[in-house]
């Protein structure tokens, strides 16, 4: 579908922009996914008595949803029994600072910083894609 849409001049530029941003994200995703997996393992070990962290798969899904804003601090710490309370608070706090603030802002910065450069080159790239 995108291959067909890139033939139109008025939308082809945006297809080129999307392609370049996805390429940058793919390069960054390897490091990003290692952080998500590391926190998912940590939360699984610390909160395994809670249903949302009971298996590694559920912990991975919950950690990913926490990264995009569904932190749910009260349910994690006050509605359930926490075995290692101090270390759990430390890991939770590091997660909030690192993943929800630093990494998400880094992703936005990577996309926004390169948009102006991509827009300058997108017209030429779109013409090349239309010819090929």
Give pLDDT tens digits for 39-95.
999 999 998 888 889 999 999 999 989 888 788 887 777 877 888 888 988 999 999
Give the chain's domain count. Answer: 1
Mean pLDDT of the chain: 80
Is residue 71 in some structural domain? Answer: yes
pLDDT of 124 reads 64
Is residue 81 in some structural domain? Answer: yes
**CB contact set of 72 (below 8 Å; sequence gap of 6+):** 66
- The whole domain housing 67 covers 29-120
Return the structure tokens found at 120.
């300058």
Per-residue 3-state assignment (H helix, E strand, C coil) for 33-53: HHHHHHHHHHHHHHCCCCHHH
Return the structure tokens found at 16.
């080129």
Is residue 65 in some structural domain? Answer: yes
Residue 37 clears pLDDT 90, i.e. is over it: yes
């Amino acid at each position: 579908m995108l291959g067909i849409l890139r033939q139109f001049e008025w939308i082809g530029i945006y297809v080129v922009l999307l392609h370049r941003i996805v390429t940058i994200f793919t390069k960054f995703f390897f490091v990003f996914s290692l952080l998500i997996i590391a926190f998912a393992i940590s939360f699984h070990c610390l909160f395994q008595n809670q249903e949302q962290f009971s298996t590694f798969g559920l912990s991975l899904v919950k950690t990913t949803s926490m990264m995009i804003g569904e932190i749910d601090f009260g349910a994690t710490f006050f509605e359930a029994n926490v075995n290692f309370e101090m270390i759990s608070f430390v890991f939770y706090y590091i997660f909030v600072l690192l993943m929800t603030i630093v990494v998400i802002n880094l992703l936005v910065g990577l996309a926004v910083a390169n948009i102006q450069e991509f827009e300058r080159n997108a017209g030429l790239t779109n013409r090349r894609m239309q010819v090929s």
